[in-house]
């Protein structure tokens, strides 16, 4: 099943389980209520991107519900004023280059 990501629909879960399980297993799920997402995953404070690990695939950019991540030349830039600290980017990164810290 293919989904087009927008600001309203971030992810889709292939295995209909709990939201934290889907994120932890790097599966996909649909998010329309960002307040609910923060309630279930916990409020997060800062996003750190390890430029040495990052392969610049853009997966995090594509799933960010607020468009706070941008691929700029050879790095990912985080707009802290737009970021809602949901942690989706951390969970979707295939190489573990993103760390969202409390």
The answer to whether the annotation marks 89 as part of a ligand binding site is yes
The answer to whether the annotation marks 22 as part of a ligand binding site is no
The answer to whether the annotation marks 57 as part of a ligand binding site is yes
DSSP per residue, 23-86: HHTT-------HHHHHHHH----EEEE-TTT-----HHHHH-TT--EEEETTEEEE-TTT----
The answer to whether the annotation marks 54 as part of a ligand binding site is yes
The answer to whether the annotation marks 13 as part of a ligand binding site is no
96 and 53 Cβ atoms separated by less than 8 Å = yes
Task: Show binding-site residues.
Answer: 54, 57, 60, 64, 83, 86, 89, 93
Task: Show binding-site residues for [4Fe-4S] cluster.
Answer: 54, 57, 60, 64, 83, 86, 89, 93
């Amino acid at each position: 099943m293919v989904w087009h990501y927008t600001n309203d629909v971030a992810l889709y879960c292939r295995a209909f389980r709990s939201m934290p399980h889907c994120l932890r297993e790097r599966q996909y799920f649909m998010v329309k209520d960002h307040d609910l997402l923060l309630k279930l995953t916990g409020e997060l404070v800062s996003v750190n991107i390890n430029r040495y690990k990052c392969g610049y695939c853009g997966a995090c950019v594509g799933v960010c519900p607020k468009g706070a991540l941008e691929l700029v030349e050879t790095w990912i830039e985080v707009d802290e004023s737009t970021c809602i600290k949901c942690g989706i980017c951390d969970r979707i990164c295939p190489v573990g280059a993103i760390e969202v810290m409390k």
